[in-house]
Amino acid sequence: MTMIPSPATEDPLESLRSASDLLRALASPVRVGIVRELAEGGKCVHELVDALGISQPLVSQHLRVLRTSRIVTVRRRAREAEYSLVDDHVAHIVLDAIRHARE
């Protein structure tokens, strides 16, 4: 049986490290744009290329970073790969940051 550590026994900096890792993974205008697009629902690479107006290799490179950081997931859809957000929390962070930047 695996026990979940209580807040008193876990490393006090661990959640701060995790948050920092998340923000580092988002520290690119392209990755912010990808998350913004995926907030609307799953998309294939060619749809992200069209929406962002950048090359397919560049989109794929940034998707790899987001997958490694467990921000996006991929599933096969016939001959294409569809990318989607693992959860909506990251979308809220990104959309709030975009709104804040526009103020």
What are 60-79's pLDDT values in tens digits? 999 999 999 999 999 997 88
* The CA-based dihedral angle spanning residues 50, 54, 55, 56, taken in that order and rounded to the nearest 10 degrees: -50
State which H helix or E strand residue 101 sits in: helix 89-102
Task: Please compute the mean of the pLDDT values over residues 15-33 and round it to a whole number.
Answer: 95
Under 8 Å between Cβ of 85 and 91: yes
26-101 topology per CATH: Arc Repressor Mutant, subunit A (1.10.10)
- Please give the structure tokens belonging to residue 93: 């962070």
Structure confidence by residue, pLDDT tens digits, 88-100? 999 999 999 999 9
